[in-house]
Structure 1
Amino acid sequence: MRGIIVVTFLILQSLVVSSSPSPPDFNFFYWVTYWPGAICDSQKGCCPPPRGNTASDFMIHGLWPQFNNGTWPAFCDQTNLFDISKVSDLVNKMEKKWTEWGVWTCPSNETNLWEHEWNKHGTCVQTVFDQHSYFLTNLKFRQKLNFLNILKQKGIKPDGGLYGLDEIKNAIKRKIGFAPGIECNEDVKGTKQLFQIYLCLDNYAKEFVECPYVPDKSCASKIKFPKFPQKDSLGETLSVISSV
């Protein structure tokens, strides 16, 4: 009888272990936002106005799983591709905070960006997120962090002026406790400018962590904070593009 009880206990224990969710097989996340003015002002600038009532602000790029060795998983599951019906309740917010300003396609198409982000990155994090929670988590972090206000409070404004790279990083670090990574591109004159901000999260995307590595090598010690594009300049950009 005792033997039967022991065997039964071991079977139940194995079932509990096997039903436990597998831990993420990557080390951390990058959460990335970008500044639209750096696209419109770049050598590869293509600046069609996005859909929705978009304010002058940083936009979400995505949430990307990373390995500590500098590589990352991508396009992990072609059986669970992006389905907009699974995020239908989030679309209005996504159109305002996760728009595409021609950095990947021109004219812009937010749905293409959302599809790309889930198919490339989201399909590799399904031990942590389903489609809805992946996009909702991005929106929650965007609501939590207003980079434009954080920088403005330290006198760093999108006025086309030059600001110290360390000055920008320290302003954000004082707010969240961890230094960001800053990625730059170049304007039409070759001046390095603020393009994307990288923050690192643990592999469950719960807490900020110190970044193992960041893309700061693309920047100079002083970088330009380009102006946010105005509607009249958008029209000019489009006319130039259509004539090429």
Structure 2
Amino acid sequence: MVYRQLAAALIAVLAAGMLLSPGFAREIRGARSGDFDFYVLALSWSPSFCEDQQTASQNRQQCGAGKSFNFIVHGLWPQFKGGDWPAFCASDKPQRVPDQLARQMLDIMPGFSLIGNQWRKHGVCSGLDQQSYFELARQARDKIVIPPVLRTLDRKVAVDPLALEAAFAKFNDGLDPEEMAISCADNKIMEIRLCMTPELGFRDCPNVDLNGCKRGRLIMPPVR
């Protein structure tokens, strides 16, 4: 009986830990629009995205000849402080982003498909109309200073994710490593995710930070 009670208690503790672990954060579909705690500004390292030939061929606005993007805006994502995030929220806002509005964003979000997908999945959860949401995304991007060496990176380099966070902290007053995270895949830097208040101030986000890539040295392909 005692062993059963101890086993039951251990299972309960492990289950609680699993529920609280940032690794078990989940997407909440159909959440109420405008109900969130903060934003994650996701800046993708475009050369990593475009290095895949199949991906590049399908995304000519971002990866076509003559394109030389460094960090582009992947999205501005509403987030819950517990680690979950809302997506595809119930909304009476239009689903399609007009071409005229989308064209205004191509310098930082180079792709009509990217812009439309981000609005439908994340933008509708902001509680803002389309114009206001994309204006806010631009304001968030304008707030971020990209470390100078990365703006025109002309060769492949190996980077420690923690060093990349430190570089962003150095060039952005008030930004700390605990307020951002690095995303990686296939041994490459994919993006940096920066946590911001609804008013675009930097804020801590332990669940986002803990889910970031911390391992070894990762490749950053050059800007073309």
Match of 1:96 among 78, 102, 107: 107
Q: Please show how residues 171-210 of structure 1 align to structure 2 within 5 Å.
A: 171-176=167-172, 177-179=175-177, 180-186=180-186, 192-202=187-197, 204-210=198-204
CA 1:193–1:39 in 2, change beyond 3 Å: closer, same or farther?
Answer: same
Following TM superposition, by how much is the alpha carbon of 1:161 offset from its aligned partner in structure 2, in angstroms?
A: 1.7
Following TM superposition, by how much is the alpha carbon of 1:221 offset from its aligned partner in structure 2, in angstroms?
A: 2.2
Matched, 1:27 2:22: no
| One-letter amino acid of the counterpart of residue 225, structure 1 | M
CA distance in 1, matches of 2:220, 2:154: 5
Structure showing greater radius of gyration is 1
CA distance in 1, matches of 2:195, 2:38: 7
CA distance in 2, matches of 1:133, 1:220: 37
| One-letter amino acid of the counterpart of residue 206, structure 2 | P
Residues 75 and 119 in structure 1, CA contact (< 8 A), matched pair in contact too:
yes
Gaps of 5+ in 2: 1-32
Following TM superposition, by how much is the alpha carbon of 1:91 offset from its aligned partner in structure 2, in angstroms?
A: 3.7
Following TM superposition, by how much is the alpha carbon of 1:138 offset from its aligned partner in structure 2, in angstroms?
A: 1.1
Matched, 1:41 2:41: no
CA distance in 2, matches of 1:200, 1:94: 21
Q: Please show how residues 227-238 of structure 1 align to structure 2 within 5 Å.
A: 227-229=222-224
CA 1:140–1:157 in 2, change beyond 3 Å: closer, same or farther?
Answer: same
Following TM superposition, by how much is the alpha carbon of 1:166 offset from its aligned partner in structure 2, in angstroms?
A: 1.4
The Cα RMSD (Å) is: 3.0
| One-letter amino acid of the counterpart of residue 199, structure 1 | L
- The answer for the alignment partner of 2:6 in structure 1 is none
| CA distances 1:29-66 after superposition (whole Å, capped 9, x unpaired) | 11101012112335x85213316974432111111111
CA distance in 2, matches of 1:54, 1:205: 32
- The answer for the alignment partner of 1:12 in structure 2 is none
Gaps of 5+ in 1: 1-22, 100-109, 187-191, 230-244
| CA distances 1:127-181 after superposition (whole Å, capped 9, x unpaired) | xx2210110111122233242xx1518x994621212221111011122222221
Identical-residue share of aligned pairs (%): 25
**TM-score, normalisation: structure 2:** 0.70
| One-letter amino acid of the counterpart of residue 139, structure 1 | R
- The answer for the alignment partner of 2:129 in structure 1 is 130
- The answer for the alignment partner of 2:117 in structure 1 is 116
CA distance in 1, matches of 2:43, 2:183: 10
Residues 38 and 185 in structure 1, CA contact (< 8 A), matched pair in contact too:
no
Following TM superposition, by how much is the alpha carbon of 1:98 offset from its aligned partner in structure 2, in angstroms?
A: 0.3
Matched, 1:211 2:205: yes
Aligned length: 184
Match of 2:164 among 168, 181, 184: 168
CA 1:135–1:97 in 2, change beyond 3 Å: closer, same or farther?
Answer: same
CA distance in 2, matches of 1:134, 1:209: 20
CA 1:169–1:156 in 2, change beyond 3 Å: closer, same or farther?
Answer: farther
CA distance in 2, matches of 1:31, 1:222: 23
